[in-house]
Amino acid sequence: MTKELNTFHSWQEAIRVYAKPRILGMLFLGFSAGLPFLLVFSTLSAWLSEANVSRTTIGFFSWIGIMYSIKVLWAPVVDRAPLPFLGRQLGQRRSWLLVAQTGIASGLLLLAFTTPENNLLIFACYAVIVAFSSATQDVVIDAYRIEAMDKEYQAAMAASYVYGYKIASLAAGAGALYIADFLNWQVAYVTMAALTGVGIITTLIIREPEHHIKADTLAHEEQLINKIEAQVHVKGIVQRLTEWFISAVISPFAEFFRRSGKYALLILLLIGTYRITDITMAVMANPFYLDLGFSLSEIASITKIFSVILFFIGAAVGGILVVRFGIMKILLLGGILVISSNLLFAWLSQTGPELTMLAVVISADSLAGGIATTVFIAYLSSLTNTAYTATQYALFSSLMTLIPKLIAGFSGIIVDAYGYFAFYIYTSILGLPALLVIFYLLKSQPQEENNA
């Protein structure tokens, strides 16, 4: 179960938390994480479109994003396997981080000098390198964020991370498009490759976090190894590989279910449903604005730039509120705010293309999203055991988007059949199961601490 903070801080202490060096460092690591994401998605799609690549092929390119959904498959290796030489010089987290960042920079440079017109297959392979390296970097940064600071500071770490991520998204989205428009795509991607230096420099500056494994965790892991080995009867190198697999892959999942007990499935249900509302509604956001009659420039000004500023404010407020009041209460607040902002979109669908109304709705949605995103990252972080940080968080973050993405695929069907008003009522209702789970967890164990 989640550890609810027993000692609450004053407002002044809660605000000053953002001045801590490691929380400031997360700003730059967040930038490093956010930079490559759009460069293998919407920005890359724009390049492919200008290169007259068919829409069908561009659609296939979106499958590159599967790397972010299956990162849990190699997270145990990143979590436990030390890198030769670099591991001794930099430590487990920083060494893997540097390798991943180097892979991102190399992949972006390869994309810049291999245009889709010349060799589309090779171009796709280079994009996969960027996505794989980026997903690996996400695994390491998530582990670093959790291990670098105590749990009471996780919301502030998450807020700082989100700030950097959003700034990088502007650079990789609007920034890359501007460069490509005024110069060319090669220069745009070389510039983005240069910006990976922000993350590389940060990795070389920050300190390796302490990696604590509690005695009871080691004892349970040893028991699990002995139990399985007694059944499979292996020796030599096969035995060593079996022990590693149990320790790195099986133990993280077994430990979570052992620690969470009867609440394990409820927690997984909460993880899988908390973001259903905002992910489902986001699929139809731009078609909604256009169908209402807003121009592209109006959409860009209010829903892109303006919303980012409000999201930043919401993220900062979320971090402060968690330090002040604890995780679970603000997790509930975030869910309520997201549902409420969706209902405002239903109201907007009945008003027509009025900029003032759009600004009000976007303001509410961005503030709600900033608070909910920050507290949810803090919540996921609080669920991990530091013995298996990377593996367990990769599991949670993969589950976080799995159900919402599957349901979001039917968004267009709902809009076509019933209209936008019904669609936003529908997305709001989708968020209710998560609220019910939070209510239950708050009532059943209001003060229980996480043993991770």
172 or 174: which leads in pLDDT = 172
Say which DSSP state 118 is in: T
Cα–Cα distances (Å) from 322 to 152, 232, 317, in that order, read: 8, 47, 9
Lowest mean pLDDT among 197-206, 231-240, 257-266, 320-329: 231-240
> What pLDDT, on the 0 to 100 scale, is given for residue 199?
96
Token pair, residue 418, equals 């019933």
Nearest alpha carbon to residue 288 among 427, 104, 392: 427
72 or 387: which leads in pLDDT = 72
For each of the domains in the chain, give its residue range(s) and CATH number, in order of start: 1-211 (1.20.1250.20), 215-256 (no CATH), 262-452 (1.20.1250.20)
SS3 (DSSP) at 386: helix
User: Would you report the helix, strand and coil content of the chain in percent, each value rounded to 5?
Assistant: 85, 0, 15
Q: Is the pLDDT of residue 246 over 90?
A: no
> What pLDDT, on the 0 to 100 scale, is given for residue 1?
44
> What pLDDT, on the 0 to 100 scale, is given for residue 72?
82
Q: Distance (Å, rounded) from C-alpha 185 to C-alpha 178?
A: 10
Q: Distance (Å, rounded) from C-alpha 34 to C-alpha 175?
A: 13
Residue that the structure tokens 């999203």 belong to: 369
pLDDT band at 223 (very low <50, low <70, confident <90, very high): low
pTM of the model: 0.72
Helix (H) or strand (E) holding 216: helix 215-232
Q: Distance (Å, rounded) from C-alpha 17 to C-alpha 23?
A: 8
pLDDT band at 65 (very low <50, low <70, confident <90, very high): confident
Cα–Cα distances (Å) from 98 to 94, 102, 105, 110, 197, in that order, read: 6, 6, 11, 18, 10
pLDDT band at 312 (very low <50, low <70, confident <90, very high): confident
- From the number of C-beta atoms within 10 Å of its C-beta (0-12, 13-18, 19+), residue 305 rates as exposed
pLDDT band at 442 (very low <50, low <70, confident <90, very high): confident
Q: Distance (Å, rounded) from C-alpha 145 to C-alpha 449?
A: 20
* Tens-digit pLDDT profile for residues 384-399: 877 777 788 888 887 8
